[in-house]
Every structure is written in C-alpha cells, then in structure tokens.
Amino acid sequence: MAKIVVNATHKGGEGKTTNSIILAEYIALVLGLKTLIIDMDPQANFSGRYIKMEYDPSYKGGKIPALHPDYEPLIDKDWDGRSSIANIFYGEEVIPYPTSIPNLDLLPAHSIKLQEAEAVTKNDVVEKVHLQLKRFLELEDVQNTYDMVIIDTPPSKGPLTIAAIKAASHIVIPAQMEQFSIEGIYGMLQLWKQETYCRAANNPITLVGILPNQVRDIKLHKQFLSGLRKGKGLGDYVMPHVIKKRAIYTEILVEDANPKSIFELPVNHVARNEYETACRYIMEKVNHGEKKGVRN
C-alpha cells in the first residue's frame, strides 16, 4: 500500500504547505520514489508552484488548474480539460498532472469546487466528503502508480481536513513555538486520537510527530520548545529536529525561484541539511516506526 502522509493543523501559517512541498520533493527527488502531492486547501497555495493556475470569472475569482497536458479537445468531448482533487467529490475522473520535478505528480486544488464540496448537509458529510479521499487513494490505479502520497490541508478542522485524516496512514503536525500554535496542537492530537479509535488494528494512523517550525534563537521559542518536550503526554511526539526560521524557505518556494527545490541546493547547504534531516526522520517513521502509533 502507498503510504499517505497528511500535514495538518487547524491553526493557520504553521508550515503545512511548506512541509508538504519539501517532504514531497525529498521523497521524489532524493529518494526517487513515485510521489503524488495533493492540494486539499481551497487557498490552492502550492498548486501554482507546479502548474499554471488560472482565475476563472465563472468560478467567482477562485483559482482553477490550467488545462491538462493530455487534454485533446477533439477527442475528450466529455471532459473540460481540467483536473483537480475536488473532482473526487463530484464523481468525476481525476487525472494527476506531471510536474517538472522527476517522480512527482500533482493533484491541484480547485478553490470553489473544494469550498462547495464542504457545504453539504451534516447527514451527507461522511458519505460525500469524509470518505471520498480514502476511496480514491485506495483505487488500484493509484496504488499501482504511487509509492507515497503527501497531502496539504486547509487551516481548519472542517470536512476536507477530516477527509485527509481518514485517508492517511501518517500525520505530521507542524507548529511554531508560540502560545496559540501550541494550543492548536492539542486540537489536532484530539482529532488524531478520535480517528485512532475508529481504525481497525491493521489500518492504523500513526502520528509521525510535531515538527517545530520557524524556530528562532530567542528565549520565548526556547522556553516553549523545552516545555513541549517535557510536557506529559506530548513530549514523546515532538520531533527531535527543528526547522529554523530562514528566509530561504520562503524564497525557494516562489514560482521563479532558482534553484527551484531545496534539494537542488549544494548538499552541505545549511537549510538543505536541516530539512533533509527532518525529512529523513519522517521517512524512517513512515517506513518502520509504528512505535508512537495508535493504540499505545
């Protein structure tokens, strides 16, 4: 089975998107595994990194993916030529886009379709949203094509985030070392635990860990980090490595950045080293580590 890592926290701006991109590129570029990255966030923050996103007035200014490179208007009469992860909620075909990164395919967001998918009634939400991503990722075609799937989620505990958690085999919670961020971690742990109890023993959802992000060399961050590590019931889940606040993590993610990926920087570059160490840790957990998983 392909391993499915979801980056989630309902608090905004913690590093879900940054971590999704860098982890996916590590797996595809450095490990050479066939990887699918999915943008489940109506903000469509990273879809535009890999393909052109357009603003369609008929979609009230929301972002929609560009035409798919395989689209042939004369042949594909029943297809509008665009594909996004939102299609799974409408019973439509889903066709990932290739990216310029070897081994990395993308399922982009579709702002309005994702938002509208969430707007179902409470009675329908489980069947029409919560279970749809899991079902899609279990398709034989997807399983046969990809070794790893990385999912970015919106800053909420809404149906799209729940759908991602229901589909996931592993979860990473990025968090800044600040008060509200740490409060947010508890909310996510609660979601993870709830999901844990719904799972069969042979289908666990493993918490890889809390990834301290945007850490600065200041007293406040040091205090929160050490408090978190010592925290009863929480300390075990904090990853051993931290990601510091560095401008390069923002700069390298812009569309025309050169080099385009952290993993095209020299191997001894401090930022590459730092993130690569964290990615290696995540992958070790994904491949072997059920130690801090469910039912413990």
Ligand X SMILES: Nc1ncnc2c1ncn2[C@@H]1O[C@H](COP(=O)(O)OP(=O)(O)OP(=O)(O)O)[C@@H](O)[C@H]1O
Task: Output the six-digit token pair for 76.
Answer: 């594909």
Please tell me whether the peptide bond between 259 and the residue prior to it is cis, using omega within 30 degrees of 0.
yes
Q: Is residue 49 close enough to count as binding Mg ion by CB under 5 A?
A: no
Q: Is residue 111 close enough to count as binding ligand X by CB under 6 A?
A: no
Instruction: Rule CB under 6 A: choose which of 134, 157, 241, 245 binds ligand X.
Output: 245
3-state secondary structure of 197: helix
Q: Is residue 87 close enough to count as binding Mg ion by CB under 5 A?
A: no
Q: Which is nearer to ligand X, 142 or 273 (CB)?
A: 273
Q: How far is the CB of 75 from Mg ion (least distance, A)?
A: 36
What does the alpha-carbon distance between residue 217 and residue 77 come to, in Å, rounded to a whole number? 57
What does the alpha-carbon distance between residue 181 and residue 92 come to, in Å, rounded to a whole number? 37
What DSSP assignment string belongs to 209-220?
Answer: EEEEESB-SSHH
Q: Which is nearer to ligand X, 34 or 245 (CB)?
A: 245
- In the 8-state DSSP scheme, what is residue 8? -
Q: Which of residues 188-217 bind ligand X (CB under 6 A)?
A: 213-214
Contact 228, 177 (CB under 8 A): yes
Instruction: Rule CB under 6 A: choose which of 243, 278, 279, 282 binds ligand X.
Output: 243
Q: Is residue 103 close enough to count as binding Mg ion by CB under 5 A?
A: no
**Of 99, 97, 103, residue with least CA distance to 82:** 97
Write each residue from 247 to 266 as x if it is in contact with ligand X (CB under 6 A), else as -, in one continuous string: --xx--x-------------
Q: Which of residues 72-101 bind ligand X (CB under 6 A)?
A: none
Q: How far is the CB of 156 from Mg ion (least distance, A)?
A: 11
Contact 177, 220 (CB under 8 A): yes
CA 164 → CA 4, 77, 228, distances in Å? Answer: 9, 31, 26
Write each residue from 26 to 45 as x if it is in contact with ligand X (CB under 6 A), else as -, in one continuous string: ---------------x-x-x
Total residues belonging to the chain? 296
Q: Is residue 218 close enough to count as binding ligand X by CB under 6 A?
A: no
Q: Is residue 115 close enough to count as binding Mg ion by CB under 5 A?
A: no
Q: Which is nearer to ligand X, 17 or 111 (CB)?
A: 17
Partner interacting with residue 243 (select from ligand X, Mg ion, none; CB below 5-8 Å by kind): ligand X
H or E element: which one contains 113?
helix 111-118
Give the residues across from 4 on adjacent strands. 149
Q: How far is the CB of 152 from Mg ion (least distance, A)?
A: 6
Q: Is residue 17 close enough to count as binding ligand X by CB under 6 A?
A: yes
Q: Is residue 132 close enough to count as binding ligand X by CB under 6 A?
A: no
What does the alpha-carbon distance between residue 152 and residue 172 come to, in Å, rounded to a whole number? 10
Q: Count Cα neighbours of 188 within 13 Å in the Cβ-side half-sphere.
A: 35
Q: Which class for 105: exposed (0-12), middle (13-18), buried (19 or more C-beta within 10 A)?
A: buried
Binding residues with ligand X: total (CB under 6 A): 19
Q: How far is the CB of 45 from Mg ion (least distance, A)?
A: 5
Residues in contact with ligand X by the rule CB under 6 A: 12-18, 41, 43, 45, 155, 213-214, 243, 245-246, 249-250, 253
Contact residues toward Mg ion (CB under 5 A) are 16-17, 45
